[in-house]
Amino acid sequence: MAQIDILSIGDVVTDAFIKLLDDQADVQKDDQGNKWLLMPFATKLPFDHAEVIEAVGNAANAAVAFARLGLNSGFVSNVGGDQHGRDMIVALGKNDVDTRFVRINPKKASNYHYVLWYKEERTILIKHEEYDYHWPHFRAKEVPRWVYFSSISEHAIDYHDDVADWLEENPGVRMAFQPGTFQMQAGTERLKRIYQRTEVLILNREEAAYVGGGDHGSIDDLFDHLHKLGPKVVVITDGPDGAYASDGVERYKMPLYPDPQAPLERTGAGDAFASTFVAALVKGMSIEDALRWAPINSMSVVQHVGAQAGLLEEKNLLEWLHHAPKNYHPSKMH
């Protein structure tokens, strides 16, 4: 088998989307500015339709994005010994993801989440199954060029030490880190070795302030704090304001790629951006070119249901790039 270009690490899940009818729910803001999804209680509600999407989650979405963009993509994860687990492995295989490092846990259930889809946004009901996390053994020719580490269960905190140990033994392997909720909550001190070993760190603006402790109102301050943790390249996404990237010397701002029509559903937009940015670097491209690529896949993903249906192949991405508006390019911040 050919060497894996990039090995994604993280949990995998099946998402059951339930499309709510616009007139059967509502969204309201509380005094703190938090939004709440409101539905009548203790009654029967009609819904539009349901769609089940297998083998998703931050790392799984990235693994599929890498494969679509022509990289030899592998995946390290855990599934249960149930039909959902078998279906997830099949779904990943159909997307050309190498699944030989996906571990089947015979007496466990697979992760299965429910997504309440209202208008273009979603609220996800999550439950992480508890697996016995084991870092796989790689023969010399199986060691990947890059790893992409993302969301994993709170039960897997010691697993980060195994990954850090392996990275120390394999100094030539480069790592991209897109922390999930529990990884952020674990704190930068607990995951110090991971942050120090990170080549590319990708967070949204709120996450950047939470993880690094910088000033939410200053992108420069956020970059300064995050670089101190060790990452060579830091990317901060900022919703409708686009994204920013820093290599410690130069800093760039990148606008969104304009939506061809109103977004259908936003699940996976962040994963598409992060993985596409990393894919460009794996292919040897510059940070500026990676910034040109990443928003296009985000734009495409939100035109479809779920995190993977809209992920583009390289030739399609380049077509969108060819037709980009004149102002679609990164600008230096200083």
Residue 306 pLDDT: 83
What is the distance between the alpha carbons of residues 62 and 65, in angstroms, rounded to a whole number? 5
Q: Which strand ranges, in their side-by-side order, compose the sheet holding 121-125?
A: 47-56, 13-20, 112-118, 121-125
pLDDT number for residue 267: 82
- The whole-chain average pLDDT of the chain stands at 95
Q: Nearest Cα to 231, choosing from 272, 175, 307, 189? A: 175
Q: What is the pLDDT of residue 121?
A: 87
Task: Kindly state the percentage of the chain with pLDDT values over 90.
Answer: 92
Lowest mean pLDDT among 95-99, 117-121, 145-149, 157-161: 117-121
What pLDDT sits at residue 19? Answer: 96
The pair of structure tokens assigned to 87 is 């279906």
Strands 73-80 and 97-105, sheet pairing: parallel
- For residue 265, pLDDT beyond 90: no
Global model pTM greater than 0.85: yes
* CB of 53 closer than 8 Å to CB of 88: no
Torsion on CA atoms 85, 88, 89, 93, rounded to nearest 10: 170
Region 27-52: mean pLDDT is 95
The whole-number pLDDT of residue 21 equals 96
Span 74-84, average pLDDT: 97
How far out from the chain centre does Cα 38 lie? Answer: 28
268 has a pLDDT exceeding 80: yes
pLDDT score of 44? 96
pLDDT reading at 1 higher than 70: no
